[in-house]
């Protein structure tokens, strides 16, 4: 893995697809989150995520 921030799921999927692996989505049960979300939704965070994902896709 090269991106250790927000792009690592994309990096994983791209690498798996490049290797010819099949990818599927599986629903899993989970509990409601306790407490306040740490995701701020700032423009800076969004810009950083887009920049990270562009780097992954450019490879």
pLDDT for 35 beyond 90: no
- The pLDDT of 18-47, averaged and rounded, is 82
Query: Which whole-number Å values give the CA distances from 42 to 13, 19, 39, 49, in the listed order?
Result: 26, 35, 9, 11
- Angle between the N-to-C axes of helices 8-18 and 43-58, in degrees from 0 to 180, rounded to the nearest 10: 20
pTM over 0.75: no
Q: How far does CA 49 lie from the centroid of its chain? A: 9
DSSP state for residue 35 in the 8-state scheme:
S
pLDDT of residue 37: 66
pLDDT for 56 beyond 70: yes
State the first-to-last Cα distance of the chain, in angstroms, to the nearest integer. Answer: 12
């Amino acid at each position: 893995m090269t991106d250790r921030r927000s792009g690592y799921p994309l990096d994983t999927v791209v690498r798996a697809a490049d290797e010819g692996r099949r990818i599927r989505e599986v629903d899993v049960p989970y509990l409601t989150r306790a407490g306040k979300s740490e995701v701020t939704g700032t423009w800076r965070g969004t810009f950083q995520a887009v920049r990270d994902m562009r780097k992954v896709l450019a490879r």
